[in-house]
Amino acid sequence: MGVSNRTYTLRNCAFAVDYSHVEGPTNIVVEDGFIKHVGKEVEGDELECSEYVVMPGLVNAHTHSAMTVLRGVFDDGELHEWLARMWDEERKLTREIMAVGSEIAVIEMISSGTTAFVDMYFNPDQIRDISTQYGIRARAGPTLMKDKSVDETVRELRALGESEFFRPIVNVHSLYATDLQKLRELRDNLNRGYHLHIHLSETREEVFQIKRRYGMFPVELIHREGLTERVHGVHLGWITSWELNYLRSSIAVTHCPTSNMKLATGGAFPMKEALTQGLNVTIGTDGAASNNSLNMFQEMKMAVLLQRHNYWSTGITAVDVFRASSVNGYKMLGIRGGEIRPGYVADLVLLSKYEVYPLTKERLLSHLVYNPPKEVEKVIIQGKIVYQKNDFRDRLKKLLEKLSLYL
**Per CB under 8 A, does 114 bind its own copies?**
no
Q: Sheet containing 26-31: give its strands across.
A: 34-39, 26-31, 7-13, 45-48
Residue 405 contacts its own copies per CB under 8 A: no
Task: Specify the stretch interacting with its own copies by CB under 8 A; choose among 166-174, 182-190, 272-280, 311-319.
Answer: 311-319
To the nearest whole angstrom, how small is the minimum distance from the Cβ of residue 314 to its own copies?
A: 5
Query: Between residues 67 and 274, which has the closer beta carbon with respect to its own copies?
Result: 67
Say how far apart CA 391 and CA 407 lie, in whole Å. 26
Q: What residues form DSSP beta bridges with 48?
A: 11
The least CB distance from residue 137 to its own copies, in Å, is 23
Query: Where does this chain touch its own copies (CB under 8 A) — which range of 153-161, 169-177, 291-299, 377-385?
Result: 291-299
By rule CB under 8 A, what string of x and - marks binding of each residue 119-158 to its own copies?
----------------------------------------
Q: Choose the binding region for its own copies from 36-44, 58-66, 214-222, 399-407 (rule: CB under 8 A).
A: 399-407
* 159: phi then psi, degrees, rounded to nearest 5: -75, -15
Query: Does 325 participate in binding its own copies (rule CB under 8 A)?
Result: no
Contact 332, 251 (CB under 8 A): yes
Q: Does 403 bind its own copies (CB under 8 A)?
A: yes
Q: Does 261 bind its own copies (CB under 8 A)?
A: yes
- By CB under 8 A, tell whether 35 contacts its own copies: no
Size of the residue set binding its own copies (CB under 8 A): 56
Of 24, 44, 77, 342, the one binding its own copies by CB under 8 A: 77
Indicate which single residue of 42, 73, 275, 385 sits in contact with its own copies (rule: CB under 8 A): 73
Q: Are strands 196-200 and 281-283 parallel, antiparallel or unpaired?
A: unpaired
Choices 19-27, 182-190, 337-345, 365-373 (CB under 8 A): range interacting with its own copies: 365-373
Cβ neighbours of residue 3 closer than 8 Å, sequence gap 6 or more? 45, 47, 385
Which of these ranges, 160-168, 171-179, 309-317, 321-329, lies near its own copies under the rule CB under 8 A?
Answer: 309-317
H or E stretch covering 102: helix 95-110
Of these, 76, 147, 188, 192, which contacts its own copies (CB under 8 A)?
76
Residue 318, interface with its own copies (CB under 8 A)?
A: yes
For its own copies, which residue of 150, 239, 274, 302 counts as binding (CB under 8 A)? Answer: 302
Establish if 75 lies at the interface with its own copies (CB under 8 A): yes
- Contact set with its own copies (CB under 8 A): 68-69, 71-73, 75-78, 104, 258, 260-266, 288, 291-293, 298, 302, 304-306, 308-309, 311-314, 317-318, 354, 357-360, 362-364, 366-367, 370-371, 374-375, 393, 396-397, 400, 403-404, 407
